[in-house]
Structure 1
Amino acid sequence: MVGAICGSTQREPHVVGKPSTFMMDYLADKFGILKSQICMVGDRLDTDILFGQNGGCKTLVVLSGVTTLSMLQSPNNSIQPDFYTNKISDFVAPKAATV
């Protein structure tokens, strides 16, 4: 898709997808949010976590998707998140039982 657009316009595109920080920079500036206050949550080290790190955010990888604990702990893995969890629902408080 990008190749077709480049060919027809004779211009190079601005990459705004992960791990480029273009959109993060824009949104942080637009809403006055410090990137140090943002935590990027995702299931991929090479896109989601790298995106957060490149943008100066805290990062949390969720192990219920692409990344596994063994991948995270592998000596070959150079991308280390600040935090990890098994599943995103770990952040949801259990509902109180009603009688």
Structure 2
Amino acid sequence: PWASLRVKLEQQFFAHGLHPPADIVESASFLSQITFVQQRGAVAFMARAVARHCAEQGMVAVLKLPVPVELPPVGIIRMRGREWTAVTEGLVECLRERGGRP
């Protein structure tokens, strides 16, 4: 319940004098989101590129609503005491370069 995106989306409801819906399903799975949209008449908050692709396939309709949500930078979480593999180090290096961080 304290995920930063959820809190920011809920704040948008409150900013417009509304209470956020109580029937919430959170999933990072686009397939799950599409299933709920199609079978339950729900709405989903997903990446614009994914929503457009799914709309082109006729699976969803994109609602053009401004949602002024600023997301924090992406972080890296790792297990304490575990060494990174060469592949993991390479991935983190690429992510940092792309993100403009040293």
TM over 0.5: no
Compare the two structures and name the one with the higher helix fraction: 2
Compare the two structures and name the one with the higher strand fraction: 1
TM-score by length of 2: 0.26
